[in-house]
Structure 1
Amino acid sequence: MLPGSPTPEPTMRLLLSATLLVAFTATAHADPGFANLQPGPLAVGWKTVQQYDASRTYRGTIDAVTGKALQGERSRPIQTLVWYPARKGGEPVRYGDYVRTEATDEAFELTPAQVAAQAATARKEIEARLGAAPAAAMLAQRMWAVRDAAPAAGKYPVVIYAPGVGGPGHEPADLGEYLASHGYIVIASRNLGARTRMLVPDSEGVDTQMRDIQFLLSYARSLPQADMTQVAVAGWSWGGMTNVFAAERDSRIRALVSLDGTREPEQTRRIDPHRITVPWLYIQRRPSTVSELSKAGVETSFSLLNEVAYADVRQMVMYPMRHGDFSSAALRLAQPGYFQEYSRAEVEQAYHWTARYVLEFLNATLKNDAAGRAFLARAPIENGVPRHMASIQHAPARPGPVPNREGFAAALAQRGFGKAAELYAELHGRNKAFVLTDYEINNWGYALLRQAGNVQDAIAMFTFGTTLYPDNANLYDSLGEAQEYAGDTAAAVTSYRRSLALDPSNVNAATRVAKLAPVQASR
């Protein structure tokens, strides 16, 4: 099994619908949360939104499990859980209220009786695992969030959370409340498969969850509180890998958090490391030994974390934690015998510091907070982390232009388009996969000419194209058009004639030479 493998922890299968509704009176100050997490200055609201991604189907005409004919909505269901800064007041939910949402993760049409039946079944499973009293205590635990509370005034950064394989939308409930109390909006949905409840950990599974992330990003735009200029994506296990795929393709994402994210070379090799340029916090369990990796048949020749050179990467190790411990939903269901070398208290303490580092990282990257930057710059022990619990390595982003199309364009804007040839040689030397075709250069030149109205930059781009592709008749023809547009008739005639020499059938070049050459000769 690869480190951070997508196989779900056994405890995750027990996180089905269950709840215990107990009357209580809210106090003025929230108690510490799971793993002794301390609430921030803001009250927390929580809401569940049942919506469909109409651009994708989830159900076919036949039920994939029962084989029976299906009717009704076929679009992909995305039950969305949102934690957000709220106005004070109201009664906080119990943990069982979060767990109860699993009943409708993919079936919005369930009746209250059907939801209750699933809750009763799940509660029996949890009781069988933990015992009746511990199960009741867990489900009855008072949380910080108030259901459907009025949002607090102001704008707040957005964090999209991607669960592990089969993970429910409430997987980040503790982390979501913690971040919301410190001024973040946290949004999550169940990691459903492409067509069934359980996701298959393959390439289609990657693309499925990545599109869920993008759907939630688009949904976040509808929230008046959301500051869409400051967006991060976090995730555990499989979700801690698919969020990197999302960051590769979606420039709205400004920061990445991976909690023991899956390192599946077969999948992560698909990611262009030069397109990962945002700050990345990767927190993992104790590293496997060489012997353990060998026995598991793990490929060690490739690590995306090592390939990403143009992102500021912090890789942290939490030694007391195992893979499932990064999900508080799974950790809550751990039996006493699960804890071996480290006690439950030590593991929960490590979870506490994991959440704290996530908060400080987000403060530093999304809020440009000096205290957050200082926290990250210090050694864990200087921040109060117990000795031998954690270590961290920092790999600053490599300076200079990123060797891809976006980096090339940004550097041209700074250095001038006349430097295109030398700059391209520099970036291509760093990344052989960065190649501009003659077609791309030609389109780029015309975009400069027609969209930006910058004829000199267009001439420079076409000139660069003829340098890179000296036998391309079309690029010389395009260069001639730009020079003619700029009023440089002599240069235009020279370019058109070169195009004709390379392609005598070029009607446009022949026509322009016939018209411009006599004019040039008369001067």
Structure 2
Amino acid sequence: MPFRVAIFLILLQADFLFGQTSLQQIGLNNGKHKVGFLHYTASDSTRTYSRIYDYSNTKIARPIPISIWYPAHQNEEDSIPQKVLDYLRILKEEEEWEHLPDEHILNWFYYANTPANQNHLKEKTTACPKLAFANGKFPVVVYAPSLLASSIENFALCEYLASHGFIVIASPSRGTENRWFSNNGAKEMETQARDVEFLIKEVAQLTNANTDKIAVMGFSLGGPANILAQTRNKNIKAVVSLDGSERYRYPLLKKSPFFAADRVDVPYIHMAQKIIPEKVLKEDNIDPALNTKFDLYDSISKSRAFRLRFHDLTHSYFSTLGVLFQNRDKRQDKSDAEIMESYKWVSVYALNFLNAFLKDDDTALDFIENQPSDNGIKEGLISHTSKQPKRDAFSFQDFNDLAAKQHYKDLMELYLAIKEKNPSFQLPEGNLNTLGLQLVINPETSEQGIPVLSLATELYPNSANLFDSLAEAYLFLGNTEKAIENFERSLELNAQNQNAIMRLKQLKK
């Protein structure tokens, strides 16, 4: 009797009927790029791991199987597209059954060995292995899969994004110690977040990756891991959640010492499953609050946030493998055609969101902000809500970021412009003094410190300390005349300034 790997989904599936779907029928319109694909295994030497079916006490460096989809060179005429079976071979490897004969894949893992599923294995995809990268730099999407799932679980979406000019990198969902998750959810979430961070480091080695433009995207349990990674990695600029379980596992997120809702400060989109029918809630013992409660979204205050609900999709169908292979639940699942149409729109929304916030595409932003009917989507298919971030008081850091962009020129004009829009804004004397001196003593920014200290003396004309600092800055730069002038001004304000007294004696000898 073949061994079947257990998989734990949010919804327990029952009363199955088999689906009739295909990649072609999903109807994704690829972009201008050919899609290249790489798969290899890296190792994280900072963590140890056991291959569970080796039944050995041996520990190895944590293996990280990596799948990468990328925009490829257009002139690869001899390229041969992968088949779905090629992706399932990766699933086999990641499940640590790499020597399993191909004919047993459907029997051995998650999906029924039906004629329809056998036909899916023969389907051609749009990705070709090991093509040359297209010229240019491309934004990066780091994909985190669902609970214990493969790096390739959403291959059609990953190919689609790559064809539109994104590099997508993914690794499987694995436990901390071995292939399986323990009962310690917080530990396992941290492990998945660290895997995401490993991928960010890994993708930086690609010369075609624009690591200033990184987003994370995750399905189900990949969602909270991505949230955790974003709150401590400010190079992550956007978050796409495919029915991410941060919606209903908020208490798990709060267990992390790294998490705080106000640290979710980048654009965020969550695409949720349909309302779960009461019959399913009762029979599967699901908390009805899952249909309505979303503490994380309600708690987010510093990011542009979008919340969509897909009324024809249950949880499993936010992934390619789910759409193609997952058994249907007659109690709630829609028809195959309706599932494929909704999966297509999930992909389109993901693309437009990423175009809007990683490529600054105004048309894509309009699409994301529109009501679905304004985008040509039939009524009742998708619900859409969004919210703007609450504006914090303008900070000294905000001022300094703007000042640095203009190389600390015209600072009074900048200050007055900010003050007009933010009447309560103040530039603390001590901050200006410290910033000015820091800039002066840095050989790369020495000249930029003088305007900062000059602005400070204009705003605080009675501060002996500021004139003393400005004098020291001029002295550091070799302008003795200006140094004497400002030391004397400091003494006028404070006759007991011993530093100014000493400096003037030295300078006037």
Q: Which residue pairs with 1:409 in the alignment?
A: 400
Please give the alpha-carbon distance, in whole angstroms, between the structure 2 residues aligned to 1:294 and 1:95: 33
1:233 to 202, 216, 219: 216
Contact persistence 2:433–2:469 (CA under 8 A): no
Give ranges in structure 1 of 5+ residues lacking alignment.
Answer: 1-5, 13-30, 108-113, 431-435, 467-474, 499-508
Q: Which residue pairs with 1:243 in the alignment?
A: 226
1:284 to 272, 283, 286: 272
Q: Which residue pairs with 2:251 in the alignment?
A: 266
Deviations 1:190-210 (A, max 9, x none): 122222223456333333222
The amino acid that maps onto 1:123 is L
Shift of 1:387: 1.8
Q: Which residue pairs with 1:80 in the alignment?
A: 66
2:207 to 218, 224, 228: 224
Q: Which residue pairs with 1:154 in the alignment?
A: 136
* CA separation of 1:235 and 1:301: change in aligned 2, threshold 3 A: closer
Please give the alpha-carbon distance, in whole angstroms, between the structure 2 residues aligned to 1:448 and 1:189: 43
1:59 to 41, 44, 49: 49
Report whether the alignment pairs 1:130 with 2:115: no
The amino acid that maps onto 1:148 is K
- The SS at the match of 2:180 is coil
Q: Which residue pairs with 1:35 in the alignment?
A: 26
Q: Which residue pairs with 2:89 in the alignment?
A: 100
* CA separation of 1:81 and 1:463: change in aligned 2, threshold 3 A: farther
Please give the alpha-carbon distance, in whole angstroms, between the structure 1 residues aligned to 2:126 and 2:24: 8
Please give the alpha-carbon distance, in whole angstroms, between the structure 2 residues aligned to 1:491 and 1:274: 45
Report whether the alignment pairs 1:348 with 2:340: yes
Matches within 5 A, 1:481-496: 481=469, 484-486=472-474, 487=483, 488-490=486-488, 492=490
Shift of 1:379: 2.4
Calculate the TM-score normalised by the size of structure 1: 0.72
Report whether the alignment pairs 1:336 with 2:325: no
Please give the alpha-carbon distance, in whole angstroms, between the structure 1 residues aligned to 2:315 and 2:495: 67
Deviations 1:227-256 (A, max 9, x none): 333322211122223223333333332322
Q: Which residue pairs with 2:17 in the alignment?
A: none
Contact persistence 2:42–2:66 (CA under 8 A): yes
Shift of 1:318: 0.7
Count of residues in Structure 1 that have an aligned counterpart in Structure 2: 460
Report whether the alignment pairs 1:50 with 2:41: yes
Contact persistence 1:191–1:199 (CA under 8 A): no
Please give the alpha-carbon distance, in whole angstroms, between the structure 1 residues aligned to 2:251 and 2:451: 41
Q: Which residue pairs with 2:311 in the alignment?
A: 319
Shift of 1:159: 1.3
Please give the alpha-carbon distance, in whole angstroms, between the structure 2 residues aligned to 1:69 and 1:32: 43
Deviations 1:385-441 (A, max 9, x none): 222110112323455x67677435336668958999xx99x99x99xxxxx9x9x99
Please give the alpha-carbon distance, in whole angstroms, between the structure 2 residues aligned to 1:290 and 1:147: 45
Q: Which residue pairs with 1:369 in the alignment?
A: 361
2:179 to 181, 187, 197: 197
RMSD: 4.6
Shift of 1:299: 13
* CA separation of 1:286 and 1:463: change in aligned 2, threshold 3 A: farther
The amino acid that maps onto 1:58 is T
Q: Which residue pairs with 2:374 in the alignment?
A: 382
Deviates most, 335-344 or 405-414 = 405-414
* CA separation of 1:115 and 1:268: change in aligned 2, threshold 3 A: closer
Contact persistence 2:139–2:358 (CA under 8 A): yes
- The SS at the match of 2:217 is strand
Shift of 1:81: 0.3
* CA separation of 1:123 and 1:288: change in aligned 2, threshold 3 A: closer
Contact persistence 1:417–1:457 (CA under 8 A): no
Percentage of identical aligned residues: 24
Q: Which residue pairs with 1:111 in the alignment?
A: none
The amino acid that maps onto 1:36 is G
Please give the alpha-carbon distance, in whole angstroms, between the structure 2 residues aligned to 1:11 and 1:189: 25
* CA separation of 1:444 and 1:120: change in aligned 2, threshold 3 A: farther
* CA separation of 1:154 and 1:288: change in aligned 2, threshold 3 A: same
Shift of 1:497: 8.7
Please give the alpha-carbon distance, in whole angstroms, between the structure 2 residues aligned to 1:162 and 1:404: 34
The amino acid that maps onto 1:91 is I
* CA separation of 1:232 and 1:443: change in aligned 2, threshold 3 A: same
Deviations 1:309-366 (A, max 9, x none): 3422222111122222212223433223356252233222211111111112222222
Give ranges in structure 2 of 5+ residues lacking alignment.
Answer: 1-6, 14-21, 475-482
Q: Which residue pairs with 1:163 in the alignment?
A: 145
Please give the alpha-carbon distance, in whole angstroms, between the structure 2 residues aligned to 1:338 and 1:43: 38
Please give the alpha-carbon distance, in whole angstroms, between the structure 2 residues aligned to 1:33 and 1:353: 15
Calculate the TM-score normalised by the size of structure 2: 0.73
Q: Which residue pairs with 1:141 in the alignment?
A: 123
Contact persistence 2:453–2:469 (CA under 8 A): no
* CA separation of 1:371 and 1:497: change in aligned 2, threshold 3 A: same
Report whether the alignment pairs 1:207 with 2:195: no
2:237 to 254, 258, 278: 254
Q: Which residue pairs with 1:433 in the alignment?
A: none
Please give the alpha-carbon distance, in whole angstroms, between the structure 1 residues aligned to 2:302 and 2:360: 19
* CA separation of 1:417 and 1:101: change in aligned 2, threshold 3 A: farther
Deviates most, 287-296 or 313-322 = 287-296
* CA separation of 1:118 and 1:205: change in aligned 2, threshold 3 A: farther
Shift of 1:40: 2.9
Deviations 1:80-137 (A, max 9, x none): 1011222344222121211211343386xxxxxx62327565432359x524323312
* CA separation of 1:229 and 1:455: change in aligned 2, threshold 3 A: closer
Contact persistence 1:45–1:149 (CA under 8 A): yes
Contact persistence 1:78–1:106 (CA under 8 A): no
Shift of 1:259: 1.1
Contact persistence 1:93–1:144 (CA under 8 A): yes
Deviates most, 167-176 or 478-487 = 478-487
Please give the alpha-carbon distance, in whole angstroms, between the structure 2 residues aligned to 1:140 and 1:284: 31
* CA separation of 1:180 and 1:301: change in aligned 2, threshold 3 A: closer
Contact persistence 2:157–2:347 (CA under 8 A): yes
The amino acid that maps onto 2:90 is T
Shift of 1:57: 1.4
Contact persistence 2:23–2:125 (CA under 8 A): no
